Amino acid sequence: MQTTKRMLTGNKAMAEAIAQEMERDPSVFVLGEDVGKYGGIFGATQGLLEKFGEERIKDTPISETAFIGAAIGAAADGMKPIVELMFVDFFGVCMDQIYNHMAKIPYMSGGSVKLPMVLMTGVGGGYSDAAQHSQTLYATFAHLPGMKVVAPSTPYDLKGMMTSAIRDENPVVFMFHKTLQGLGWMDQVEESVGEVPEESYLVPLGKAKVVREGKDVTIVGIQMMTHQATAAAKILEEKGISAEVIDIRSLVPLDKEAILSSVRKTHRLVVVDEDYLSFGFTSEIAAIVAEEALYELEAPIKRLAIPDVPIPYSRDLEKYVIPNAQKIADAVVKLMEE
Amino acid sequence: MSIPKEKLLWMYQTMVKSRYYEELLVEAYSEGKKPVFNIGAGPVPGEMHLSNGQEPAAVGICAHLTEDDTVASPHRPHHHAIAKGVDLKRMTAEIFGKVTGLGKGKGGHMHLFDPAVKFSCGGIVAAGIPQAAGAALAAKQKGKDWVAVAFIGEGAVNAGAFHESMNLAALWKLPLIVVVEDNSWGISVPKTASTAIFSNDKRATAYDNTKGYYVKDNDPMEMYMASQEAVERARRGEGPSIIEIETYRFLGHFQGDPELYREKDEVPALLTKDPIEKLKNHLINEELATENELEQLENEAKHDVDVAFEYARQSEYPLPESALQDVFC
């Protein structure tokens, strides 16, 4: 007998994790712009104000330095704040609090100060929001020591990793992809809806996931690019190429072993990113494989990412710069010919 | 309203302790830096910002605080740390870069953290204000009457973090007190050339629920009185305050500062108005203490400092590879 699966959108999965942790722990609270009545511009706090009231779901002024700094101060004093930076692109107005304070205070204090806080933020493009509202900036955050940086790609992981992030004693930058929130006013992406258990559960931070097994080539993706890689793998299957797809899920900590063991099996590597190409996630993975598994490779590593331009507005321009399934499949086919 | 004698004596002793502490630090800092000054040389390397002359700001308000109240201090933190009751031995060891230091040698003099007394400081101007506002928010959420104090220099009021934080604190009626130490100088730029208002307490009028206080002449007793009102209204949940105190920077912005921007007679004139002498005269003239009693307090304070320096000098340096620890817990 088939039981009915409980399906949730990405945003509802996140909101459910937050609600369950708020019920469990009175020191958890949320602050950020439009997190109250609006429920978060990308729905991450939907329904929470009604459940927990204004003292624990706090709308803030447009003062990212003040409210992210306040989250740091509250965390140092034993609270567990979840603070939302609406778009990751807005980090420019408050990065001092993030990288000079949130990321460094635990270290500079020799571990005597803990900052158990979550900085959640919307990332990603693909809907013509142009250069100041479409970035992912994964590598910008992952480059700076002292923050865990995670980027889940499914409703199941959004819930399980949010629960882990809230319980983590370290600052966690929790990046959710806007298009994977399953919002009614964006492109309806199949992967933005998924099975989510009602009870609370943990998905560990720092573990990659093999989302599709294969033997000819490894494709490492992140968030939306994982889904594009999976779609590419289907195209490739028709051409008789068996691609293994890894969803990295977490940049810091990085699950190196998952990548290395896959490369040892397939001997070919493609890395796909929705961030800028140079000095980024794709470079990092390529460097690790070059350092630790170079002689396993039967072909050069291929990287696909935003080609070092700001994200353009017009639909065809944006489409041109963001990797997609076809581009990934084409790259793999070329790689197999090497 | 008069100030209890034991508070006055505590303020006196704490100012003496802070002054003596920094006198020893001037000596320690200069070791290895003569005849040629090299900022990275000697037992205490790196930048060194001293607070000699600014002690009234610290003691006047910390006299009203307990271990449950938070203090966030900037790059010139020693007088605040000492007045807040930070572990002097571990603080000194940290400044000497030793493994027994508050941060196991990872922070240094600008980055001192003692969670046991809720003290922190940092090297980015104005950045401590939102964090103090967060501690004030935490107190409110926990239903406690704890307060949070952010010390800043007068240059920091022109940073966005100050205005964002004051608005937030006023909006949420947070028990936050911002103490502006106006020593007239943002490194080399005088307040008159950086700030479009004479006294920053007036900025309180920009926000509801916020009160401003101005303390002139670096007076520890006036600072005590203003702070009492600000702390009490914060504990009652009436909102934040800004206290600006006119204070004196006896030394350079940092040790090694040639101070070519200052008139030659400025510091000698300031030294004639030493707040420690002022309080001492008050205590004696009002017959609150004898010379002998004050000398005993001075000796106790100096003993604590001597012990702290001895502890720091005797402590071990951290193992180099411990640099890799404490990024995450």
Q: Are residues A113 and A230 in the same domain?
A: no
Count Cβ atoms within 10 A of the Cβ of residue B263 and give its class: 0-12 exposed, 13-18 middle, 19 or more buried: exposed
**Residue A201 in domain:** no
Q: Are residues A186 and A220 in the same domain?
A: no
* Residue-by-residue DSSP string for A8-57: EEHHHHHHHHHHHHHHH-TTEEEEETT-STT--TTSTTTTHHHHH-TTTE
Reported confidence tier of residue B1, pLDDT bands at 50, 70, 90: low
d(CA A181, CA B181): 47
Q: Are residues A38 and A185 in the same domain?
A: yes
**Residue A1 in domain:** no
**Structure tokens given for A242:** 């068996």
Q: Are residues A190 and A243 in the same domain?
A: no
Is B165 close to A66, i.e. CB distance below 8 A?
yes
**Residue A203 in domain:** no
Which chain B residues have a beta carbon less than 8 Å from that of A56?
141
To the nearest whole angstrom, how far is the Cα of A161 from the nearest Cα of chain B?
18
Q: What CATH number did the domain enclosing A296 receive?
A: 3.40.50.920
C-alpha distances in angstroms, A311 versus A118, A235, A251, A308? Answer: 27, 27, 22, 9
Can you give the residue range of the structural domain that contains A290? Answer: 209-336
What pLDDT digit, counting tens, does each position of B112-147 carry?
999 999 999 999 999 999 999 999 999 999 999 999
Evaluate if residue A36 carries a pLDDT over 80. yes
Is B103 an 8 Å CB contact of chain A?
Answer: yes
| pLDDT recorded at residue A4 | 77
| pLDDT recorded at residue A54 | 97
User: Please, what's the b/e burial string for A245-256 (b: 16 or more CB within 10 A of its CB; e: otherwise)?
Assistant: bbbbbbbbebbb
Evaluate if residue A332 carries a pLDDT over 90. yes
Give the residue from B191, B184, B203, B218 showing the smallest Cα distance to B79. Answer: B218
Q: What is the DSSP letter of A246?
A: E
Look at residues A133, A161, A195 and tell me which one is the last residue of a structural domain: A195
Give the residue, B157 or A3, on which the prediction is more confident.
B157
Is A97 close to B167, i.e. CB distance below 8 A?
no
d(CA A81, CA B133): 14
Q: Are residues A182 and A235 in the same domain?
A: no
Look at residues A165, A195, A225 and tell me which one is the last residue of a structural domain: A195
Reported confidence tier of residue A2, pLDDT bands at 50, 70, 90: low
Is A69 an 8 Å CB contact of chain B?
Answer: yes
Reported confidence tier of residue A3, pLDDT bands at 50, 70, 90: low
Is A77 close to B326, i.e. CB distance below 8 A?
no
In chain B, domain spans: 5-316
d(CA B219, CA B278): 8
Is B75 an 8 Å CB contact of chain A?
Answer: no
Mean pLDDT across the stretch B215-233?
A: 98
Is B130 an 8 Å CB contact of chain A?
Answer: yes
Mean pLDDT across the stretch B302-327?
A: 98
The SS3 call for residue B98 is coil
Is B135 close to A77, i.e. CB distance below 8 A?
yes
What pLDDT digit, counting tens, does each position of A252-276 carry?
999 999 999 999 999 999 999 999 9
The average confidence (pLDDT) of chain A is 97
Name the pTM for this structure.
Answer: 0.96
CATH architecture classification, B5-316: 3-Layer(aba) Sandwich (3.40)
Q: Are residues A11 and A88 in the same domain?
A: yes
What pLDDT digit, counting tens, does each position of B72-110 carry?
999 999 999 999 999 999 999 999 999 999 999 999 999
Q: Are residues A60 and A122 in the same domain?
A: yes
Q: Which of B106, B135, B328 lies nearest to residue A73, judging by beta carbons?
A: B135
Is B168 close to A170, i.e. CB distance below 8 A?
no
Which chain A residues have a beta carbon less than 8 Å from that of B105?
110
Q: Are residues A288 and A157 in the same domain?
A: no
Is A53 an 8 Å CB contact of chain B?
Answer: no
**Residue A114 in domain:** yes
Is B158 an 8 Å CB contact of chain A?
Answer: no
Is B138 close to A74, i.e. CB distance below 8 A?
yes
**Residue of chain B whose Cα is closest to the Cα of A29:** B141
Which chain B residues have a beta carbon less than 8 Å from that of A170?
328-329
Evaluate if residue A113 carries a pLDDT over 90. yes
> How many domains does chain A fold into?
2
**Residue of chain B whose Cα is closest to the Cα of A110:** B103
Q: Which of A96, A108, A145 lies nearest to residue B107, judging by beta carbons?
A: A108
Look at residues A164, A195, A226 and tell me which one is the last residue of a structural domain: A195
Q: Are residues A19 and A50 in the same domain?
A: yes
Is B157 an 8 Å CB contact of chain A?
Answer: no
User: Please, what's the b/e burial string for A113-144 (b: 16 or more CB within 10 A of its CB; e: otherwise)?
Assistant: bbbbbbbbbbbbbbeebbeebbbbbbbbbbbb
Mean pLDDT across the stretch A222-238?
A: 98
User: What is the value of ipTM here, to two decimals?
Assistant: 0.95
Evaluate if residue A1 carries a pLDDT over 90. no
Q: Are residues A229 and A318 in the same domain?
A: yes
Options A133, A143, A177, A227, the catalytic residue: A133
Q: Are residues A190 and A220 in the same domain?
A: no
**Residue of chain B whose Cα is closest to the Cα of A56:** B141
Count Cβ atoms within 10 A of the Cβ of residue A33 and give its class: 0-12 exposed, 13-18 middle, 19 or more buried: buried
Q: Are residues A35 and A118 in the same domain?
A: yes
| pLDDT recorded at residue A338 | 81
